[in-house]
Structure formats: structure tokens, C-alpha cells
Chain A
Amino acid sequence: MFLEKVLTVAFISGVLGAGMRLAMPILFAALGEVFAERSGVLNIGIEGMMLTGAFCGFIGSYLTDSPWIGLVFAILGAGLLSLLHAFLSISLGADQVISGIAINLLALGLITLLNRAIFGLRLIPVSAANFESIAIPGLSEIPILGPFLFSHHALVYIGLILVPIIYIVLFKTTFGLRVSSVGEDPRGAEAVGVNVGRIRYICVAIGGVLAGIGGITLSLANLSLFKESIVSGRGYIAIAIVMFGGWNPVSVLGAALVFGLVDALQLYIQSLGITQLPSQLLISMPYVVTILFLIIRFGSSPPSALSIPYIKEN
């Protein structure tokens, strides 16, 4: 009976489509974190940056009725926050984990404060113009593949296109090579004339920007809603995905999709109203998957200089 409900085209298409959409916020954040970590900076503050992006994006769209302006707000907000992290961990050489946690606390406080101050507590939540779903004519009608790949909002398409772009940047350009060199062996890189500090700043900033986009994907794309718990650990999950995906944008995409599909699956199963499985068990599936991701490492190792502050010899 259960299987009958599950193995229908409608169900599968639904799960696939939702899975793609749910994977997007994490994908953006993870892609950003790939840059940061490849250059040797661990950014635990992704969670806070996503929150900032979600909120700033929401505000931007609320004020101007355009989600795209919201996107700009999101990028600016999260980007600024990432510069703070960059300053603390790169220029000052502070411990990157503590800096990240401090940023999360800061962001939580600031955003909650602003949220209450601007919107107050309302019974009916505020909404803002969000990214509408754009179905690609023709392609979106293909059964199963259509809903999976071709009828989403703009951010999904942007995200999917970013993956190969980032792959090319990281693996096929000199910039990408320098990023890897800084993350593997900053002294060796410095010895050849690479400016370690500058590259790390750039990568952390990229991380922030993408985390911000990931945030706005939560507040203005899937739903048009902002609440303080909107990120709910996805920033940390992004970090796990980066590790599991071997710091490679393509496998990160795969891991993000797995996560998204698991998340979608549990939502859809819940909607089937099966009372034997407690809803909490279903909700916890994505998190369990993340833990499994971390334990079952496929042997790829992190950049050797990850999370070690680089202090120039004098």
C-alpha cells in the first residue's frame, strides 16, 4: 500500500523537483565554502552568513518589490560579514573556529534584533516578492526529468550553471591553481610570489557571497518567508558536504542533491500521512545522512594548510 503511493510518477517527480530546490541553499553555501577551504580558511560562520543573506535579501525585496534587488542586498550583507571573518582569521591570525562561532552569534543577534525592530512580532507573517518558478518551455514537460531539472525558480538555474563555472575556475585557471597552492602549502606559494593573504581574502569573500545567495534561496525562493530559524543548521551541513565532496564542486553538487532528495523524501512521506513512522524520525534523516557523510570519508584529504593561520616569517 505504501509502495503503491510512492512509486507513482507524481510522487517521484514531486520528490525530485523538491529535492533539487531543497538542495540549492546548501549547494550555494557549500560552493562558497569550497573556495574558502581550498585556500586554507575554515569558515564555520557560514551559518550566520546564510542567515544574514536570507534576511537582507528578504528586506531588499520587501522594500523594492524585486527579488533581484533582494539578491544584491543578500550578497552585500553576507559579504560584509565574511570580510569580518577574513579580517579576524587572516589579518589577525585568530583561531578560525572561534572566529566563525563568534560570527554566528553576532549574526544571530543582529539579525534577530533587526527582524524584531523592523517587522515586530506579527500573527500573519510578512511576505515579499519572491523568485517565481520559471518553467522552461518544452523541456519542463518531459516526465520526471522535467520537474527535476527544468521547472524551477531562477536561482536553481543559476546554481546549476555555477557548478561547471566554478569547476573551471578552480581547476582550469591560474587563479584556481594559486588558490590550491595557498591552501596546500602557503610557504611554498609565498616563496613563488603568490600573495597568500590576498587570495585568502578573495576566497573568503566569495564564500560569503555564495552563502548569502544560499540564504536568500531559503527566504525568497522556496517560500516567501523569513523566520529566525530558517537556516536550521544548513550552514554546518554545507561544511560537511564540502568535506564529503572532496572539495570538488561537482561531487559537492552530488552530495547536496543527495541531501536535498533525502529532505524532500521525508517531507513527501510525511505528507502521505503514514503514522507508523514518527515525523521526527523523518526530519532527522538529513542530519543522520550528514553524519554518515563525515564518517564514511572516501579518503580525500583536506587542503594541508586548512584552518592553520598563516603568519608570515619575518
Chain B
Amino acid sequence: MGEGEGDDDIVELNHPPHKGVILFVHDLKELGFGLLSIITALSIVAIIISIAGINPIEAYQALIKGSFGSINGISETFVKATPLIFLGLGITIAFRGGMWNIGGDGQLLLGALGATVIGVYLPSMPPVLHIALSLVGGFIFGALWAAMPGFFKMRRGTNEIVITIMLNYLATFLIAYLVSGPMKDTTQLIPVPQSREIVESAVLPRLIPLTRIHSGFLIALAAVGVVWFILERTVLGYEIKAVGVNTDAARYGGINIFNTGFVVMLLSGGFAGMAGMSEISGVHHYLLDGISPGYGYLAIAVALFGGLNPIGVVFSALFFGALNVGAESMQRAVGVPTATIYLLEGLVVIFVLARHILKRRRRSS
């Protein structure tokens, strides 16, 4: 009873990643469960903290005060959330399209590079134009960094997980090389490994004076709208989701699997690149080492927790952003290391997984 395969050179997307992980934000029960998993994760971490001899209530108080207790705190939350939103969008597109893009970090760095190049080496011009170019540059650089794994995955079925991760490291080295070499700012008195500052016209304006929150956040929200529109209202989004959910039926439906998969990677990398642009043009204003402390991996937790849904990603990113900001104040106040956040994030992802397994089981019994 053979089921013949389609054309032999089209790669079968083995086991699409997000099957069973999508939350629908308008399902209240899912929101409730999201809350439950946060609370459970916080409780577990609280237990660990108290074993270490620190009062968890004090710790959490410091956490909340840090992220929400002051204008500075709240704005920092938005600053931290901005790249997470961009990255989360990229991962949402990738996972829903059946591609495991773990290369967010690297694509972010390349996007940062692109924005720096445009901000430093192009002359002053009307800010709107300059910022738009930086945005495009960031997107293109990020997309290019994702193009290679995308190509090899669709053409030859090469495992994109490891390649994208390797590219993360390579991106770090590339940036390190550039900022200590060809792009180094030699005009400084004491030369440090960073690039020249970007020109004034390429800077993303501050939204609230005396805080770091910049219009990158607004661009991120716009990007959320764009991604939402693509996924929910366009042919492309339909094809992306179709390929991710049921490759056979997608092929039956006339969708070109190779093209779609490749475009998915390009988009995913592009949005990650925009995260990099936002960090450069809005926060740092020059390129240096260490721009992305693991944002790419964190964003996976953000995207999953947000239900692989662009709107959910915003709330999820704000939540994780708040955690990160609060964690710093928690460290200052009671000495709990900021790395506790990773623990929390890991737990949250596990709960997301568990939830959907339970849902699947209940459905099939």
C-alpha cells in the first residue's frame, strides 16, 4: 500500500517544532495556565533562594520594586523588552514555519553590525531616512546570516539547529574582530574595542527624557503589527503556517515547500537583525562586544511562553524584560545572582511543554 513521496528533492520537514505548543491568546484558559506556570516557577525558585539563606519575599519585593517601582525601572523594562520582542517575532515565524532557528544571537549581532555600518559610515541625513536605512540594513544583515542554514536545510535537510548555533559563535568572533580592528574607534584617548559612534541622525530618539527608553520600542510594536498581519492576513503567512503544520497537505495545496522554508529563515533572521539595530541605534550608539547576553536563547522562552503568537510575544517579552531588570535590583538588594532568571526561564519553558502534552493527552483519550 505504498504512499509514494512527492518530488524526491523536496525535503520532508520532520516533526514540525511547534506542534502542540501554540497558545491562542484569546483563550482565557490558556492565560490562566500562563499565570499558573509563572507562579509555580516563582515558587520553585523561591524555595531554592531560601535554601541559600535568603528571604524569598524580600527578594521578590526587590524584584518588583526594581522593575515597576520607579520610572527608571519601568522604562528599563521596556528597554530590555524591545530586543526580546523583535527576536520573539523572528522565532515565532521560524517555529511556526517548521524551522528551528536557534541563531537569534548571531543574527542580532549581524543586524547590529549592519546598523553600525550605516550609522557610522554614511553621512548625516534627515533622521527619518537614516533610521529607516539602519532598519533595513539591520534586517538585511540578519536575514543574510540566516540564509545559509536555511538554504542547506531546505536543499539537503541539514540540521539547522547546530548550524545556527555555530553561526552565533562566529558572529561573536566577527564582531570582536571588527571592533578591535578595522572598525575600531581610534579617535578615543584610550582606545577601547568599540566602533565609532553612529552619527546623530541615525540615533533612535529617546521617548522619555532621562531614561533609556527609545523609539525602538515603538518600532518593535509596529513590527508586531506587521508580523501579525503577515501571519493572519496574507498568503505568505498562510503558506508558512501550512508548511509548519502539515507538510503533506501543504504540498497538496500547491505550496512550494523549499521557497516557503527559505523565506521563513530570511524573515526570522531579519527580525533578529532588527533587534540588533535597535540595540545599536537606540541604546549603545556604537558597536562593541557583548551586545547580546544570550538574548537569542532567552527569546525562545519568550516566544514559547507567548504562545508563538505575535501579540503574546509582546506581553511575554515585557514579562521577561521586567524579570531581567528586577533581577538586577534583586541582586543589589539581597544578593540573589541575576542568573536566577535563567533558572526561572528554563522552568517556564518546561511548564509550557508540560501543558501541551497534557492537553494532547486529554484530547486523545
Contact = CB atoms under 8 A, between A and B. Distances in A.
B338 to A, nearest CB: 8
A66 to B, nearest CB: 26
A237 B15 CA distance: 22
Interface in B27-61: 48, 52
Interface string B1-32: 00000000000001101011100000000000
A224 interface: no
B21 A117 contact: no
B17 A98 contact: yes
A108 B342 contact: yes
Contacts of B162: 236-237, 239-240, 243, 290, 294
A116 B304 contact: no
Interface string A273-284: 000001111011
Interface string B124-164: 00000000000000000000000000001000101101110
B181 A278 contact: yes
A166 to B, nearest CB: 22
B345 interface: yes
Residue of A107, A117, A288, A295 with highest tally of chain B CB at under 10 A: A117
Given A102-B350, A106-B350, A112 B169 contact: no
Contacts of A239: 159, 161-162
Contact of B21 (A98, A109, A116): A98
Contacts of B180: 280
B346 A107 contact: yes
B176 to A, nearest CB: 5
Interface in A223-277: 228, 232-233, 236-237, 239-240, 243
Contacts of A240: 159, 162, 166
B21 A113 contact: no
Contacts of B165: 233, 236
Given A92-B354, A95-B17, A102-B349, A113 B174 contact: no
Contact of B347 (A106, A243, A290, A294): A106
Given A98-B21, A102-B353, A113 B163 contact: no
Nearest to A114: B52
A240 B20 CA distance: 27
B300 interface: yes
A10 interface: no
Contacts of B343: 105-106, 109-110, 113
A116 B336 CA distance: 9
Given A109-B344, A116-B337, A291 B349 contact: no
Nearest to B102: A101
B353 A88 contact: yes
Contact of B339 (A99, A103, A108): A108
B167 interface: yes
A99 B304 CA distance: 12
A280 B174 contact: yes
Nearest to A105: B346
Interface in B164-207: 165-170, 173-174, 176-177, 180-181
Nearest to B49: A113
A108 B168 CA distance: 17
A106 B342 CA distance: 6
Given A284-B170, A297-B158, A291 B163 contact: yes
B340 A92 contact: no
A307 B14 contact: yes
Contacts of A93: 357, 360
A88 B174 CA distance: 37
Residue of A93, A110, A237, A243 with highest tally of chain B CB at under 10 A: A110
Nearest to B342: A109
Nearest to A95: B17
A69 interface: no
Contacts, number: 144
A104 interface: yes
A281 B301 CA distance: 31
B297 interface: yes
Contacts of B346: 102-110
Interface in A282-314: 283-284, 287-288, 290-291, 294-295, 297, 307-308
Contact of A278 (B14, B177, B340, B349): B177
A209 B161 CA distance: 23
Contact of B19 (A92, A95, A116, A294): A95
A269 to B, nearest CB: 15
Residue of A102, A112, A278 with highest tally of chain B CB at under 10 A: A102
A116 to B, nearest CB: 4
A93 B20 CA distance: 11
Contacts of A101: 102, 297, 300, 349
Given A95-B21, A287-B166, A295-B158, A109 B345 contact: yes
Contacts of A117: 52, 337
Interface in A189-245: 228, 232-233, 236-237, 239-240, 243
A94 interface: yes
B100 interface: yes
A112 B293 CA distance: 14
Interface string A108-150: 1110110011000000000000000000000000000000000
Nearest to A311: B364
Given A106-B347, A116-B337, A97 B17 contact: yes
5 contacts: A97-B17, A97-B100, A236-B166, A278-B177, A291-B166
Interface of B: 14-15, 17, 19-21, 48, 52, 100, 102, 152, 156, 158-159, 161-163, 165-170, 173-174, 176-177, 180-181, 297-298, 300-301, 304, 336-337, 339-347, 349-350, 353-354, 357, 360
